[in-house]
Amino acid sequence: MSDEYLDENIIPVAPRYRFRDLILGDYALSTEDDRRFQVEFFTNERSLKQRLQLYFIKNQRSSLRIRLFNFVLKTLTCLLYVIRVVLEEGDPIKAECVTPSSSLNTSSPEPKSAEPGTIEWDCIWWVNRHLALYTIHVIIAFISLFQTILLTYLSYKGNIRQQLIRWTFILEIITTVPFIATLLWHSQLKNLFIPVFLNMWLAKSILEHIFNDVHRVINRAQSPLSHQLTVLMATIITIIFISACGIQHLQRGSAAHLTPFDSLWLVIVTFSTVGYGDISPDIWPSRLFMMLMICVSLTVLPMQLEKCMYTWVERKKKGGSYSRHRAQTEKHVVVCATHLLTDTVMDFLNEFYAHPKLQGYYVVLLSPSEMEESLKIILQIPIWAQRVIYIKGSALKDFDLQRCRMQEAEGCFILASRTHSDRTVADEHTILRSWAIRDHSPGVDQYVQLFRPEHKFHVKFAKHVVCEDEFKYALLAYNCLCPGTSALITLLLHTSRGDEGNCGKEDWQKLYGKCSGNEIYEIQLYKSIFFKDYCGKSFSYASFNAHRRYGVCLIGVNSNDENSKLLLNPGPHYNLQEGDTLFYLSITKEEHSSLSQKEANADEGIASMVAGVGMVASGVAGSAALNIAKVNTEGVQAQLPTVSASASTGVEINNHFLSPNPDRVLPRRKPSIAPVAEKVGDEVHIELTPIDLSRPSHSQHTLHSLIMESPSPTDDVVDPLWHSHSSGSDIKVDVPPVAPYIGKGLHLCHLMRNPRPICCLQLTKVCQHCEHRHPREYNWRNRAIIIASANTSNGLYNFILPLRSQCLKQLDLRPIVLFLEHEPERHFKETIRHFPMVYWITGSIDRLDDWLKAGINYADNMVVVNKETSNSIEDDYLSDCNTIVAVQTLFKLFPGAKIITELSQSSNMRFMHFRADDDYALALSKLEKEVKRKGSHMSYMFRLPFSAGDVFSASMLDTLLYQAFVKDYLSTIVRLMCGIDQGKDSGFLTCIKIGEDEQWLNTYGRVYQKLCSNNGAIPIGIYRTRQPGTFSTSVSVDKLDNEDAVSRNSDREKEEISQLVKGCMLSLNMPPNDYNCSSDEKHSQVSYVIINPGYDLALEKGDIIYVLRPASKRHKDRYEQKFPANSYDRPTDRQTNSSQECLDEQVDVTEDTFLLTNQNAESVNNNDPNCNRRHAAKH
């Protein structure tokens, strides 16, 4: 038989799960043209009884049809009874008692009415039944009785008594046999009363079975609570109907007849225990019947209510479900987590609903564990009760996912479990949840949180994946390069409007709190009021002028080209185009700002405040824009422009103060700050700025601390000391050949040309290649960075990458010491052996000897990573106790140490640098409570350790995942800032310090212009350190005496600590003079971050400016050499090369290697390590 014949003659099987198919079966599909094959299925049921059992009982479809037919019959019987009663009520004569003798009389019967207080039994036993109604009743009785006897026979299993005493069988006999018996004496018994209204109870029983059969046949689960409620309502309706019919009929024997409505009123009033008394039964049969029905209701209804209450309680524990109708009309997201912790859930809700566009969303919490009691109470608050739905279930079950309406969800957040002791196992749970959701709802966007970076490739299909170890270690590393980076990134991630600054009492608190409201936003250029005027202008020009005019900081761009990538500060050679998407820092989105288009157009005429053009504008009425025809780039002389008033003013301005007068000669000065070019290679357009001309001449020269253009010549000059501890290997810039996990991006780093032997990686181990026993013998050029971690996770790789990035100068590389509790594995050693000056040592953070061996006296930064295992099962907030106490001990032993600590609970930040008698810390504690009371979810921001960047909590990174739902670009920006990712044309984060020579740059705006005009660097914030204020002016004598006593005790304590540390150093053969026990002033200072400050903010000495520096030509050439454009990063078409010509030769290996100048080569003896050290010390 050919395939064509099968396709033409065999029809496809139609779906069988529709309700119509359940009722009609195969007949629903039959047509005249259907040609079917009769197939006989042989079964074991060959006898007649077995075949009947298969049809009436075992077969789900046929038994469902039979039950539906029976339900219709029982309902029809009750309806016929009501029709008879209504017809009797409509005819007063028929409503009277009818006896068998009166039914034989053809003449009209005489009405009989009962006297008050007597019972007319004839009116109870006999009714006036119409012949048509009688006939239908008899037919239904025959069918029902036959089916009842047949089903009793088929279900017989040896106990006939059990079959006969069933209440359903008894009711069937009562409602059917009397009708059949009337056929024998039709003329006498036709009007005999038969309680056919009892069929309502049989109909209720059949309805329960129908619900079960329907859901079993269509394979769809029904809600237990809805099923129980349906049965309860059916029971109540049945009891009310039977009671109303019974009391109405029995009252026929009384003088006070009741209408059907009066009977219904009496029953409802009686069962509701109201009892008005206006209608009541007056004969004993009626009263006895009501007593019986009350007993039945008190027996049946509590049982049904108990089942409903039990189901409802269990449903509350299970959390219910998200309705299908709501899923079709409203938007919702699903949050999957192992444990729903109060802090985690509230952080998510606060960040999620902080965006106006998400106010109408519902949040469905899916978790296999129950909520905390505190979270249950919080979710009862109306603001959350109407928008948050809790469902107890597992993401691995399709049934629970269906309860969440996962397929209709806008997104799904899968959160990792922080309470799990093993982070690898926690990631495995997250991966399985992600796979299950992907299998059930492949179209739903997933936002996945992981701990280990090696697990990312398992969920690469997710829209956003936030790996905690990646971001955590990168931020901790950047804190060593740029102080306060963790506070900077955390404040940028959290949603705020800067209202926290209103709670501050000091100036620094107000400024810090207000600027903390800056966030990263995006907008397309052609839609923007801030940036649309800069279409075709350079990126640096647009960033500077937008900040000067509107206070927003342009930091990144993404072109509309295909396969384009987001770039941080692509530099002055990138010209903005109309379709570009811009990323900027601001307190609020441009769409939510009060600036209108009219105000923006009016502001175009305002003069630019471009510092350093060497002229002063005075006496100018209105606003004027000056075009400089030519600017001498050598700084000898600038041709001054001609000034004309704007057309709107119509005023001619005298420009005698701008052009030289023949009678007097103006001094020729070099502009103190070069103008920011609109386009590279074009004429420079400058707007006049009133500035101070009385700057010293030395300030006109290039500032080495601010201008970071091409690498310094010393960048390629090697210190001979490097050869002594690098085993004679040179250093190059390349991609690390060994990565610890899959999915790590391509990074250009400083690497060893010849990898170091593994035996030389251990800091204090003597081998045949290295004879150093402690860190002092290494004679490092720069002070080291020590990171203490309990586990050797692959996240440590992300700590090393930013500290060995190609963006750093080679002579600025600092040694890295991995202070671990256990020896790292072999593959991790293979990874770090390619990096210069990376060592490991085993020890415990609780032991002083181990810290001394790790070189704490020769380090500038110590990073302490919190242990992953919880120290307290009962209280998660005590999980940081070991880390906090160990770090506090280090502060006591080494007062001058810069320690950066990672904690698991952000609320434990208050214990860092803890001083019980510190009045200022107590005042900040009160401020924290005040900020929290006003609704801020960043109340810890005023804690000094956090504002200074000395403490960091990984839970703060959860916000990055929550924000990704609205700001999908935020993760990319943070990765570029932290050095996790690199790009050929993208800039990177660095910092510069304002010294004494830079004090003439007295405002933040002048620094902004200085950086943009020299090399296109863009400042984004300030890290400021100052002395704290005081909260009280009066000091009592007792307090002064107490402070003197504390000071004396502190001096004795310092002396004891000094003796302890120096004694340990002597026992380890270390010179005790290397220990510095003097207290550092920085512990009594306040350090904080100012994000995107105003243009006129005054600078202070010691300010550190966060700068987004563009990629240099040398960096781009390295990328071109290592990563071709078609394999890594497609070059941008708008990169203008008019101002920088291509190099004649490609960057070769010698350019990435440390070279000696001729002078140094002659004076250094490479064979004498001591001579190398002396030469290094000399320089």
Contacts of 395 by beta carbon, 8 Å cutoff, 6+ apart: 336, 366, 401, 414, 433, 436, 437
On the question of pLDDT at 359 being above 70, the answer is yes
Q: What is the pLDDT of residue 101?
A: 53
Instruction: Tell me the C-alpha to C-alpha distance, in Å, between residue 358 and each of 330, 383, 510.
Output: 11, 14, 30
Mean pLDDT of 430-458: 93
- Beta-strand (E) ranges in 8-61? none
Per residue in 710-733, pLDDT (tens digit) is 334 334 444 443 433 444 357 888
Range 862-877 average pLDDT = 71
pTM over 0.85: no
Comparing 36-40, 76-80, 1104-1108, the range with the smallest average pLDDT is: 36-40
Tell me the pLDDT band of 912, cut-offs 50, 70 and 90: confident
At residue 433 the predicted structure's pLDDT band, cuts being 50, 70 and 90, is very high
**1173 vs 939, higher pLDDT:** 939
Distance CA 598, CA 585 (A): 23
What is the mean predicted confidence (pLDDT) over 340-354?
Answer: 88
Q: Long-range contacts for 64-71 (Cβ within 8 Å, ≥24 apart)?
A: 64/22, 64/23, 64/210, 64/213, 64/214, 64/217, 65/22, 65/23, 65/25, 66/147, 67/206, 67/209, 67/210, 67/213, 68/23, 68/210, 70/144, 70/147, 70/206, 71/203, 71/206, 71/207, 71/210
Contacts 24+ apart (CB under 8 A), 629-636: 629/683, 630/683, 631/675, 631/684, 631/686, 635/670, 635/671, 635/700, 636/668, 636/670
Share of the chain above pLDDT 90, in %: 24
Which range is least confidently modeled, 74-83, 862-871, 946-955, 986-995?
862-871
Residue 1012 identity (one-letter amino acid): C
In the block, tokens 């009280």 appear at: 1032
Residue 56: band (very low, low, confident or very high) from pLDDT cuts 50, 70, 90: confident
Alpha-carbon distance 781 to 814, whole Å?
8
Q: What is the mean pLDDT of residues 893-911?
A: 86
Q: How many Å apart are CA 837 and CA 752, to the nearest integer?
A: 9
Residue 439 clears pLDDT 90, i.e. is over it: yes
User: pLDDT tens across 538-574, in order?
Assistant: 999 999 999 999 999 999 999 888 778 899 999 998 9
Does 291 score more than 50 pLDDT?
Answer: yes
Q: How confident is the model at residue 152 (pLDDT cuts 50, 70, 90)?
A: confident
What integer pLDDT is reported at residue 954 of this predicted model?
Answer: 82
Distance between CA 578 and CA 744 in Å, rounded?
Answer: 34
The predicted pLDDT at position 775 comes to: 87
- Looking at residue 920, its pLDDT comes to 81
Q: Residue 447: what pLDDT?
A: 95
Instruction: Determine which of 9-13, 543-547, 862-866 has the lowest per-residue pLDDT on average.
Output: 9-13
Confidence label for 221 from pLDDT (cuts 50, 70 and 90): low
- Report the alpha-carbon distance of residue 808 to residue 1019 in Å, rounded: 18
More confident residue, 609 or 454: 454
> Residue 1129 corresponds to which tokens in the numbers above?
């990063």
The confidence score (pLDDT) of residue 117 equals 61
pLDDT at 1044: 58
pLDDT attached to residue 1048: 62
More confident residue, 26 or 749: 749
Residue 567: beta bridge partners? Answer: 557
For the record, the structure tokens of 1104 come out as 């550190």
pLDDT exceeds 90 at position 1108: yes
d(CA 810, CA 804): 9
Per-residue confidence (pLDDT) for residue 38, from 0 to 100: 57
Q: So what's the pLDDT on residue 307?
A: 84
Residue 869 binned pLDDT confidence (cut-offs 50, 70, 90): low
pLDDT of residue 683: 40
Whole-angstrom distance, CA of residue 548 vs CA of residue 535: 17
Report residue 1158's pLDDT band, with 50, 70 and 90 as the boundaries.
Answer: very low
Q: How far apart are the first and last CA of the chain?
A: 95
Q: With H, G, I as helix, E, B as strand and everything else as coil, classify residue 243.
A: helix
∠101-104-110 over CA atoms, to 5°? Answer: 65
Tens-digit pLDDT profile for residues 1046-1099: 566 677 878 888 888 888 988 888 888 888 776 555 557 889 999 999 999 999
pLDDT band at 1149 (very low <50, low <70, confident <90, very high): very low
Interval 859-878 mean pLDDT: 74
Mean pLDDT along residues 116-130: 82
Give the sheet arrangement for strand 332-336, strand by strand.
388-392, 362-367, 332-336, 411-414, 446-450, 464-467
pLDDT for 1097 equals 92
CA neighbor of 1128 nearest in space, from 1026, 1006, 984, 1015: 984
Structure tokens, 189:
């018994």
Cα–Cα distance between 517 and 549 in angstroms, integer? 19
User: Which distant-in-sequence residues (6+ apart) come within 8 Å of 901 by Cβ?
Assistant: 863, 864, 866, 883, 884, 887, 912, 945, 950, 951, 952
Average model confidence (pLDDT) for the chain?
76
Burial status of residue 1053 (CB atoms within 10 A of its CB: 0-12, 13-18, 19 or more): exposed
Would you call 942 helix, strand, or coil by DSSP?
helix
How many residues does this entry show for the chain? 1179
Say if CB 1004 and CB 372 are below 8 A apart. no
pLDDT of residue 1034: 40
Contact predicate 478/460, CB 8 Å = no
Q: Can you give the pLDDT at residue 684?
A: 38
Given this model, what pLDDT does residue 1031 score? 45
pLDDT category of residue 585 using cuts at 50, 70 and 90 = very high
Query: Span 250-271, mean pLDDT?
Result: 87
